[in-house]
Amino acid sequence: MSKDIKAGDIISYMEMCMAEGYSLQRGMNFRVKGKDTVILMSLRKGAPYADRTEEDGQILIYEGHDVPRNINESPKTVDQPQFTPNGKLTENGKFFKAASDYKDGAVPELIKVYEKIKDGIWVYNGVFELIDAWQEKAGKRKVFKFKLRVTDITLTEKVATKTVTDIEHNRMIPTSVKLEVWQRDKGKCVTCGSTDNLHFDHILPFSKGGTSLKAENIQLLCARHNLQKRDKIQ
């Protein structure tokens, strides 16, 4: 049974797959096997796609994905596809349609966002709403861009049929801050030194005026001490 994963949790690739119930082999996963929509992102130098954040982490601009690699041409020289060769929607196409439906009055698609910050280290960034999509030129080709807005809407887990709150603040901790905190705290809980079940914790909670934008207000806590701290605050 997979553990409950909350925004700010630091996890392995295997834990991420266990949480979602299938192997995450690609970055865009639109309701795979009838489950929640999931994207994998990275803001690291050299990342394959030009993802970025805006408005102090409240907005994620996520780049669509390339055609599959083949021996004849580089995926980076070809327009990102909206349809497969047999006319079905690609993941780009599915996301684009969901964004278009939202602009036509439908409820926004809720997307769970995981971020790779280092090799083998992932962070769950919480739930975002898909609110816009477009194509733009990138060199000589066209790429898809998707606009997502962080939200505190809850998701209902389909298997466990229970409601969970996926985020407790309204913006992502910037990647540069996560990396600074990870290095400063040496990848360990600052209270007990544990390297398991770690979480990026706001020293002064966001709800009480704390910031997500400075490493001085973020620390690494293990699940046990993170829960103890929350109990004291409440």
Residue 196 tokens, joined = 């398991």
Q: What does each of the 234 residues of the chain score in pLDDT, given as a tens digit?
A: 345 788 899 999 999 999 999 999 999 999 999 999 999 999 988 899 999 999 888 899 999 999 988 756 789 999 999 999 999 999 999 999 999 999 999 999 999 999 999 888 999 999 999 999 999 999 999 999 999 999 876 565 433 333 334 444 456 888 889 999 999 999 999 999 999 999 999 999 877 888 888 999 999 999 999 888 765 654
Structure token pair of residue 83: 């349809």
The pLDDT of residue 206 is 78
Alpha-carbon distance 41 to 60, whole Å? Answer: 10
Domains of the chain, earliest start first:
1-169 (2.30.280.10), 173-234 (no CATH)
In the three-class reduction of DSSP (H, G, I as helix; E, B as strand; rest coil), residue 110 is classed as: strand
Backbone angles phi, psi at 156, to 5 degrees: -100, 120
The single-letter code of the amino acid at 3 is K
Name 33's Cβ contacts closer than 8 Å, sequence gap at least 6.
21, 22
What is residue 3's predicted lDDT score, i.e. its pLDDT? 59
Position 209 scores a pLDDT of: 83
pLDDT, position 30 = 98
Q: Where are the alpha helices (DSSP H) in 43-160?
A: 91-103
CA terminus-to-terminus distance, the chain: 29
pTM (2 decimals)? 0.86
